Structure 1
């Protein structure tokens, strides 16, 4: 009997691992599609020549990676911070850390703007900032649309189920 319980647990663990692997692959694929769309939008907005693109993208990718690292560092600190239980000193430390991260972000922007200006002109740099903002807005709009569609689908299913229940009661 114990062997069956063990096999059942092993099967469940394998299934959970398979589901997690599939979900991760889907997340990676979605992340890659988003990144490709962002690259296409930025390239189009900046009007990069192939030569410019060859110099621009390594700088931009490095900049993006460092920005993400800063963001994740602050996000991790915020997740570990509970304002309800924090002391005054811990709260002050968190505020200071937030300012440090913002300052670090600003210094990063200055450094990489200077590096990018060696490859693209100032109008293109301004277009880059606008393209990033527009892309973020388009991405958020698409997420809102999906949420709305899911909400509408859920409401429609709920109405259909309620209708079926009424029909069963009436029959």
Structure 2
């Protein structure tokens, strides 16, 4: 119970410092990662034995997923403006579509392997709860971001 309270306090501290000025993207990502770890730990109620095995696997998965989404998809987004799309030939569009599909398949495969690995670490109920908790965390983060934007008026 004390660990749960500690993580909630850490979550609050990180959420206040999250909006600090002068932070680079890497610093913000690390803050989000710490907030997410506190949130997931509280939501999943991992035992110390589960947590010891879970976090290295989760962090590796999260890093790879981030790399795929932000580095590969960045090049895709640059091609997704109206001007570029209007000038794209059918052959270029097919190649681009194949690249998109390949990246999506890689993300799916990554998640599938991650879940298979987790099955040996935590019960299936916690794996399902992890998915829901990740979505809850992302929604909460989005709300914080939106709220911050409204305060600048």
Tell me if TM exceeds 0.5. Answer: yes
| 1:122 and 2:120 are equivalent in the alignment | no
1:1-171 aligned within 5 A: 23=22, 25-72=23-70, 73-80=72-79, 82-150=84-152, 152=153
Paired with 1:26 and 1:79, the residues of 2 have a C-alpha distance of 22
Across the two proteins, how many residue pairs are aligned to each other? 129
Higher helix share: 1
CA positional deviation for 1:80: 4.4
Q: Which structure has the larger Rg?
A: 1
SS in 2 for 1:118: coil
**1:97–1:85 CA distance, 2 compared to 1 (3 A):** same
For residues 29 and 108 of structure 1, the distance between their equivalents in structure 2, rounded to whole angstroms, comes to: 25
Q: Is this contact kept in 1: 2:61–2:110, CA < 8 A?
A: yes
**1:83–1:108: structure 2 CA closer, same or farther, 3 Å change rule?**
same
Give the aligned CA root-mean-square deviation in angstroms: 1.7
Contact 2:79 2:85 in 1 (8 A): no
The two structures have a TM-score, normalised by structure 2, of: 0.77
Q: Using the alignment, how far apart are the partners of 2:91 and 2:107 within structure 1?
A: 24
Instruction: Identify if the C-alpha distance between structure 1 residues 143 and 53 changes in structure 2 by more than 3 Å, giving closer, same or farther.
Output: same
Instruction: Note the C-alpha offset of 1:26.
Output: 4.8
Alignment gaps of 5+ in structure 2: 1-20
Identify which range, 101-110 or 68-77, moves more after superposition: 68-77
* TM norm structure 1: 0.70
Indicate the residue corresponding to 1:158 in structure 2: none
Shift of 1:33: 2.2
